[in-house]
Chains A and B, each alone.
Chain A
Amino acid sequence: MTPPPKGADAPGAEAPLLSVTDLRTYFHTNNGVARAVDGVSFTVAQGETVGLVGESGCGKSVTALSLMRLIQSPGRIEPGSSVRFEGTELLTLSEADMRRVRGNRMAMVFQEPMSALNPVFTVGDQIAEVARIHSRASRRDAWRQAVAMLELTGMPAPEQRAHEYPHQLSGGMRQRVLIAMALMMNPALIVADEPTTALDVTIQAQILELLADLQRRTGTSILMITHDLGVIAETARRVIVMYAGEVVEQSAVGPLFATPHHPYTEGLLAAMPRMGRRRDRLRVIPGTVPPPTDWPTGCRFRARCQYSWDRCANEHPPLYDLGDGRRSRCHLAVEPGRRAHPHEPLAAQAVPAR
């Protein structure tokens, strides 16, 4: 079976490009089962940029790799998980069909560039390879396209750089090589895992502009994984916050920054250093995240939460639907008198999502 063309059996304009339902990716290790991604659901609409943020180790990269079906043993996407993309269930596709999806429709920019580049080929060859597979371009054309794409990413002296090997490039240049490879195939979805962390802010601005431009022209969707809340604020329409393998909050970008509805999100925003507002010490969220082999019962953020109460210890909070596209996995989100975040009272009458 080949994946149908874009949106073929989508039941109307409403159907999201990507819809992830109850994704579970576990690592079956000698130290136990690490439930790295533990029941994650979200959607990405066509042409939309969705930001994915969360504690280091909370499962963002594993989520991204699961979408691409690049999880390796002892990792496994558990039965019952679903990833629908352009109307096709990806988790049951044959490896050959999946390779076609990865090569054409869904591109990934990896977090650690060195892990994704081949040290024995020049970067130009590696980008040109994508062009050759994707558009069946001749060797010569593919090379030309590769150099042109490198130039678009702000690479200085792109023609010369294309002849170099990954180790000869600086960290940020390697990242731009990966971005060039992703853009080369003109995909429907780009999964970008920390695409600009190794870049200085001027190049970052240029890359973000490049992505936005691509999005305007081709309606590409972007799942943007980043620690930089500034990048989220500038690029994303909606934000998904993960903690300990789960989605803990979901919201349009504006309301999330204005009034976080989960204590973890609140802590995250408070920990952010802001330019022009230097202070003695940065605020931290006390404690550490529990290991993914032993998620506690009840709320997984409980031990670090300043608002926790008995219900949090006993009852695992569902992702409460708060209306207006907002969701929060905090019992207090539906206790108007005892709201987690100290900002505004909750407007909508909330009901548990499941």
Chain B
Amino acid sequence: MTPPSAGVGTPDVHPTPTTSRQSGPPLLEVRDLVKHFPIRRGILGRTVGHVRAVDGVSFQLWPGETLGLVGESGCGKSTTGRMVLRLLEPSAGSVHFDGADVLALSGARLRAMRRHAQIIFQDPFSSLNPRMTIGAAIREGLTIHRIAAGEAADRRVRELLSEVGLRPQFADRYPHEFSGGQRQRVGIARALSVSPRLIVCDEPVSALDVSVQAQVVNLLQDLQRDRGLAYLFIAHDLSVVEHIADRVAVMYLGHIVELASATDIYREPLMPYTQALLSAVPVPDPTVRSTRVVLSGDVPSPANPPSGCVFHPRCQHPRKDEACTKLVPPLEEKSAGHWAACIKQPPTTVHWEVQKAAGGTRQPERYLPDL
């Protein structure tokens, strides 16, 4: 039997995490999204198991909002981003964009949706066609979606290039003539070209030095202010996420384990994984030796996730006990708008009686290490 995912798998019991600040309908609504990749072995390609890359993820995103998505490498962030745009078919779950059921769209309506929801890819090298000039790559979207043609399209391409800090005369050069960071900016220009309403940004600035990064982050924020763009912002750089995100979702092994406003999550991380993550951020000051919560224990495999709380083998919460290995912690609202999946951080809907029945020996108690 497979345990239900961390609370997000049962929407009728646990509501989709949301925040009271938002009004109106969300632009994007993701519910119980699941992606299992088959593991194949041998010449016959027999399926010997499944990688549970995304295992029941739910969130909402409003126009003009930025949701940061952070977490361990391989925890399913890119997979989630790709499913949102249906570049990858989910195994289960639903995605609604502007009220429309994305998974039911096809033909012209799917194309229209793709215009309004763009992606900036993590690895610019593999997302650009080596035989196409970067000008042509940026122009492609303008033509496909009949936004501009001829001289007007050329002008728009030049504008976009300078918006991302590249020289307009670079338009007729090929991807291999650029540095990693320059290629990344071509990807950004391409996403912006069709004036989308949502951009899934998969590590959009990690290839950039901090001054170009600041330029791009400011540009993204300006566009958001002027056009009400929404971003799903996937990144490993937690200081950039703190700067740009309104809310932050932390993923671990295919699950969202914490979701709160950026302010709350950085000031008061409740899920022990989030605590470890924040404490591992290197401090840009050579005179400071950082105090790290060092994660011990093996990195678990999404093909064979631990029982109970998926983080329990590496958890440093002093109240961790037998119950954590048995009970799947629901993603629950610990305080207004602050959702976390940990039965040892009070308050919890998993009552002490239930924990005891599952072998629990230590009552929940608030734990917040010095970061």
Residue of A whose beta carbon sits closest to that of B53 = A170
A sample of 11 inter-chain contacts (CB < 8 A) reads: A27-B177, A156-B74, A160-B39, A197-B236, A202-B72, A227-B209, A234-B283, A268-B210, A275-B266, A275-B281, A288-B167
**A304 closest partner in B (C-beta):** B211
Chain A residues whose C-beta falls within 8 Å of the C-beta of B298 in the assembled complex:
156
Tell me if A202 and B239 are in contact (CB < 8 A): no
List 6 other contacts, CB 8 Å, given A172-B236, A198-B206.
Answer: A57-B182, A112-B125, A112-B180, A154-B299, A204-B280, A230-B282
**Interface size, A (range):** 35 or more
**Cα–Cα, bound, A198→B169 (Å):** 30
Q: Chain B, 35-48, contact with A by CB distance < 8 Å: what is the 0/1 string? A: 00101010000000
Q: Compute how far the CA of A260 lies from the CA of B107 in the bound complex, rounded to whole angstroms.
A: 56
Chain B, residue nearest A256 (CB): B286
The interface size of chain B toward A, counting residues with CB under 8 Å, comes to 74
- The answer to whether B125 touches A233 (Cβ under 8 A) is no
Chain A nearest CB from B174 CB (Å) reads: 10
| B125 and A229 contact, CB distance less than 8 A | no
Contacts of A157 on B, CB cut-off 8 Å?
A: 301, 303-304
A272 and B238 alpha carbons, distance in the complex (Å) = 12
Q: Which residue of A lies closest to B74 (CB)?
A: A170
Which B residues are in CB contact (< 8 Å) with A31? 173
Interface residues of B (CB under 8 A from A): 37, 39, 41, 70-75, 78, 122-126, 165-167, 169-170, 173, 177-182, 185, 203, 206-215, 217-218, 221, 236-240, 242-243, 262, 266, 276-278, 280-288, 290, 292, 294-295, 298-304
The docked-state distance in angstroms from the alpha carbon of A125 to that of B134 is 34
Which B residues are in CB contact (< 8 Å) with A231? Answer: 282
A2: Cβ under 8 A from any B Cβ: no
Name which of B210, B294, B299 has the most chain A CB atoms within 10 A of its CB. Answer: B210
User: If the complex has contacts A56-B208, A230-B282, are A278 and B122 also in contact, measured as CB distance less than 8 A?
Assistant: no
B217 contacts across to A, CB distance below 8 A: 273, 282
- Residues of A within 8 Å of B182, CB to CB, are 56-57
B277 engages A273 (CB within 8 Å)? no
Closest beta carbon of chain B to A51's beta carbon, Å: 10
8 Å CB interface, A28-68 against B:
29, 31, 34, 53-57, 60-61
B303 neighbours in A (Cβ, 8 Å): 157, 160
**The residue from B178, B236, B239 contacting A275, defined by CB atoms under 8 A apart:** B239
Do residues A198 and B73 form an inter-chain contact, with CB atoms below 8 A?
yes
